[in-house]
Amino acid sequence: MKKVIDGKALVYCEGAFNTPNGKTAHGLVRFTERYEVVGVLDEKYAGRDAGDVLDGRPNGIPVYKDLEAAIVALTASNNMPSYLVIGLAPDGGRLPQVAKATIKAALQQGWNVDSGLHDFLTNDPELVALAKEKNVKIRDIRKTPDRDQLHFFTGDIEKVDCLKLAVLGTDSALGKRTTAWILVHAFRNAGKKAEMIGTGQTGWMQGAKYSMVMDSCINDFVSGEIEHAVVSAFKNEDPDVIVIEGQGSLMNPAYPGGFEILAAGRPDYVILQHAPKRVEYDGFPGYKMHSLEEQINAIQVISGKEVIAITINHEDMDKSEILDVCKAITLETKLPAFDVLEYGADDLIALLMEKIK
């Protein structure tokens, strides 16, 4: 059994698994060092294997109809968790009211509850009282630390002289974090020391040792917190490469992440994640996606650094289309294009290894 930071976890994703609103659950099903995931809750896919639903690759994580069904099955297999993790990532980070009953039932079971939503469970007196009664923890991962614990930008980033890569995207909910982890693991498999800088709640839940939650951080400290995470990883781990997870996109109207990552993380190169079949920005009909050329140009103008490769999200594509789409992107942009989720990252890593200092 793999070593995990916190223990076994059941992931709540009712109504959202295998949709963009389930991306936290998706990350945990694909990989996490923080928990051993023993199941997912979503009635639509009950009885299925979560890895098979998500990627067509069974991974032994079952999907259950509801908490009661999960408890019966997990008790029988002697695999009961100590955590319920909220795997939802809806627009605005709001908790569906229907989820509260499951959270209460999990606390009654004596489980801890972790949530990455903007609706803080620790603001609910009923849940807090129940957690205290059962002597368990509720953790709101997106809750901003007190200001005296936050860091302001110092310029220490200039002392970081290992290779720094940022995985940015042309949109939100696109697979930037997944690609970043795939690259970190591929570098490690190639014998290099690689560290992931998490910039969202899911990165933390997957066990990113150096992370901050960008979209809930007080604006004055966003750059400083990014810098602090990168500098800490460099000082403590002496890595060959640091991979910074992107957030949103430069041009998404609701989630214009990326500016601070370029400004404060100061990557040497950018890898750009892109979903070729998307026409409009995620969740915003009528807001047409900017072209790949415009997005690349914006990144290079803002940062002065080059986009070195395109990684694609194959949503709404047949597998038979993927390689042809990659070739078309290369013809359009003069940049190599890869689907690292489908085909692995070896070819991309070979390109990036030449850039290690």
pLDDT digits (tens, 9 = 90+) for 190-247: 999 999 999 999 999 999 999 999 999 999 999 999 999 999 999 999 999 999 999 9
* CA 125 – CA 102 distance, rounded (Å): 16
pLDDT given for residue 1 in this prediction: 57
Domain 8-140 has CATH 3.40.50.720: yes
* CA 339 – CA 140 distance, rounded (Å): 33
User: What mean pLDDT, rounded, does the chain reach?
Assistant: 96
Q: How confident is the model at residue 90 (pLDDT cuts 50, 70, 90)?
A: confident
Q: What are 313-357's pLDDT values in tens digits?
A: 999 999 999 999 999 999 999 999 999 999 999 999 999 999 998
Hey, what are 146's tokens? 């007190």
Q: What are 156-190's pLDDT values in tens digits?
A: 999 999 999 999 999 999 999 999 999 999 999 99
Count CA atoms closer than 13 A to 286's CA, side-chain side: 0
Start and end residues for every CATH 3.40.50.300 domain found in the chain: 149-354
Is the pLDDT at 3 greater than 90? The verdict is no
**Domain 149-354, second-level architecture:** 3-Layer(aba) Sandwich (3.40)
Q: Phi/psi at 29 (nearest 5 deg)? A: -70, -35
pLDDT given for residue 191 in this prediction: 98
Burial of 91 (0-12, 13-18, 19+ CB in 10 A): middle
Contact, 264 vs 228, CB < 8 A?
no
DSSP state of 16: T
Q: How confident is the model at residue 36 (pLDDT cuts 50, 70, 90)?
A: very high
Determine the longest span between alpha carbons in the chain, in angstroms: 62
